[in-house]
Amino acid sequence: MTIKSAQTLVKEAYSEVKTIDTKEAFNLFKENKCNLIDIRDIRELERDGKVENAVHIPRGMLEFWIDPNSQYFKDGKLDLQKEMVLFCAAGARSALAAKSLQDMGFEKVSHIDGGFGAVKKSEFKII
Q: Count CB atoms within 10 A of the CB of residue 37.
A: 26
- Please give the pLDDT value at position 127: 96
- Please give the pLDDT value at position 21: 98
Alpha helices by DSSP H, the chain: 6-16, 22-30, 42-48, 62-66, 92-104, 115-120
- Counting every residue written for the chain, the total comes to 127
| CA pair distance 61, 39, nearest whole angstrom | 9
| CA pair distance 116, 114, nearest whole angstrom | 7
73: nearest Cα among 83, 91, 61? 61
Domain 17-120 has CATH 3.10.105.10: no
Query: What DSSP state is assigned to residue 33?
Result: -
pLDDT above 70 coverage of the chain, percent: 100
- Please give the pLDDT value at position 62: 97
- Please give the pLDDT value at position 102: 97
Instruction: Encode pLDDT of 34-59 as tens digits.
Output: 999 999 999 999 999 999 999 999 99
Q: Mean pLDDT score of the chain, rounded to an integer? A: 96
Q: Count CB atoms within 10 A of the CB of residue 57.
A: 23
Instruction: Encode pLDDT of 62-103 as tens digits.
Output: 999 999 999 999 988 999 999 999 999 999 999 999 999 999
